[in-house]
A and B are shown apart, each in its own frame.
Chain A
Amino acid sequence: MSEFLQQLLNGLSLGAIYALIALGYTMVYGVLRFINFAHSDVFMVGAFIGYYLGKLVPEHTVWGGLGVLAAAMIGCALLGMTIERLAYRPLRSAPTLNVLITAIGVSLLLEYTGQVFFGAAPRNFPEIFPKQNFNLGSVIVTSNQLIVIAVSIVLMIALQLIVYRTKIGTAMRAVSLNPKAAILMGVNNDVVISFTFGLGSALAAAGGILYALNYPSIDPLMGVMPGLKAFVAAILGGIGNIPGAALGGLILGTVETFVSGSQFSTYKDAIAFAILIIILLFRPAGLLGKFTVEKV
């Protein structure tokens, strides 16, 4: 039983990170209807910004850690907006396939540029937050897990407020519902899309730093697998659906942790894709998504 609780806790903290990344995918898909393959590399850049800034601030302090987190989020928000402006905006009216390939190109560009600048060898992420273990009965809770869960909850609440309580959030939902009608209602789509990229990329940066806190070996290709799994999480919850992405991330993280704790641990990378295939075959709109009928 205690082992079950321990695995559940580990799974939830991994799932919270997946959820943060999945939110970026789902928001971009909501407004532009394409898979932003470069998102997983923005996540990587976030971790590296954290790595370099983390060396400047004193270790094991809450304020240092939060400062690094905020700086990485701002940095990645700017990066995401730049990518959107330079690579995706010129293709706004092109077929989605071309945008998809451009996104893959941006993803490769970030990875290879990362390998040139950061080197391909893995690096050790500094311990920017205070570290302590708490024993609750037989379950061990690390401070990093608490930080992951707390930061994710705060960010998700903030996101929910932005999307549902602010003007730009209303505009985001309008663009996602019907971009043409949104333009007619006076929404500036370019600003909204740019903002969406900034928001999603900031969340990816937070995910990157939290991931690096728990798996402190970072390299320029670190984003690929978590990125794919987070995308699976976004689909699992229903693409374009914000609470769905959070739910999908938590489910995926928990399932993956349980599989890697079992005898089938070597299959843990396959389980996400098995879930993806099952969900797409039986409920393509995702757990919380609405099913739309194609009209002729």
Chain B
Amino acid sequence: MPPKPHLFLLGALLVAFGVQHYSDSFNPYYLDVLTGIGINIILAVSLNLVNGYTGQFSLGHAGFMSVGAYLSAAVTLYFAPRWFGENGGTALQEGGLFLMALIAGGLSAAFAGLLVGVPSLRLKGDYLALVTLGFGEIIRVTFQNVEALGGALGLNGIPPYTTIFWVLAFVAVTIFVVTCIVKSTYGRGFLATRDDEIASEAVGLNTTRYKIVAFVIGAFFAGIAGGLYGHFKLTITPTGFDFTKSIEIVVMVILGGMGNTLGVILAAILLTLLPEVLRPIAEYRMVLYSFLLIVLMLARPQGLFNFKLGKSKA
């Protein structure tokens, strides 16, 4: 991480503006791939706060993502026609509404994270993984049954507000927030909770609160990522957020090396690019993808990008 995170954030936002400004001259396919990478980085980095830094194994990230996606899509679908009419608003107006929608999505996902986290974080390891998986599936089935949100067919006609600027900006914000939290005095509590829960409790840390805070922050950014995803794909269905999506994000975190933000970012890029690169071999690409996953796990169990020798607990 750069020594001055504020400068990093500022620089990243400027880069985002720059990329947006020249986005017309890029190949649209590359822009789409870049958007996908950005959304996955937000998901993976935020999950890394829970799984990597705090040591709690969550398999429900897609559930929080779907809460954010649905809520923010509902906000824009409700307000956009009422405020802007048929022709749409100016870029600034739409941007303001989108920001509001994203934050609404993030907050509702964070609230869902709180509701899920408070009862389930008493559990550990595999059990926690399963409970979060269960909650993720319950969220999905609930969305399938809410007619106002499109039921099983999903929501259609979401306005295409996601631009490369928003994606890159939120990638920067996510990395900034997670890094600052973990490097802060407060953030040491997350690491302590992961390293030795009993010892942390013995020195007076409220480990349950640390876990819940990590969970809520992770869910918030998953919600933001969901909002970006919805306004990028323009249509969302409950089945798009089932537990295979959660697993995809977990794989990025593990391949990157748990609790290693840079590694997780690289893994998110790699795992988003891999299916794209393998596209020419069409039906075999997912076979190869899963095969590579097994081989990577066997060959580098400490994570693909974890080069700190002796420090990993493997």
> Interface on A for B, CB 8 Å cutoff?
33-35, 87, 90-91, 94-98, 100-102, 104-106, 108-109, 111-113, 115-116, 228, 231-232, 235, 266-267, 269-270, 273-274, 276-277, 280-281, 284, 296
Contact = CB atoms under 8 A, between A and B. Distances in A.
B198 interface: yes
A223 to B, nearest CB: 13
B287 A276 contact: no
A262 B218 CA distance: 37
A105 B297 contact: yes
Given A90-B298, A284-B123, A116 B247 contact: no
Interface stretch (B21-29, B92-100, B128-136): B128-136
A232 B290 CA distance: 25
Chain A residues touching B, majority SS: helix
Nearest to A119: B283
A273 B254 contact: no
Contacts of A266: 141, 144-145
A101 B125 contact: no
Contact of B130 (A97, A115, A274, A276): A276
Contacts of B122: 281
A171 to B, nearest CB: 24
A87 B127 contact: no
A277 B298 contact: no
Contacts of A296: 198
B140 to A, nearest CB: 8
B293 interface: yes
A91 B142 contact: no
Given A98-B301, A104-B251, A281-B119, A273 B138 contact: yes
B250 A231 contact: no
Nearest to B202: A296
A11 B289 CA distance: 38
B120 interface: yes
A102 B123 contact: no
Interface in B250-292: 250-251, 254, 258, 283-284, 286-287, 289-291
Taking residues whose C-beta sits less than 8 angstroms from the other chain, chain B's interface range is 35 or more
Contact of A98 (B120, B247, B297): B297
B57 interface: yes
A102 B297 contact: yes
B190 to A, nearest CB: 17
B14 interface: no
Max chain A Cβ within 10 angstroms of own Cβ: one of B125, B137, B283, B314: B137
Contacts of B290: 105-106, 108-109, 111-112
Contact of B297 (A101, A270, A277): A101
B126 interface: yes
B294 A106 contact: yes
Given A97-B258, A105-B290, 7 more contacts: A91-B301, A95-B314, A96-B125, A100-B129, A102-B293, A115-B283, A277-B135
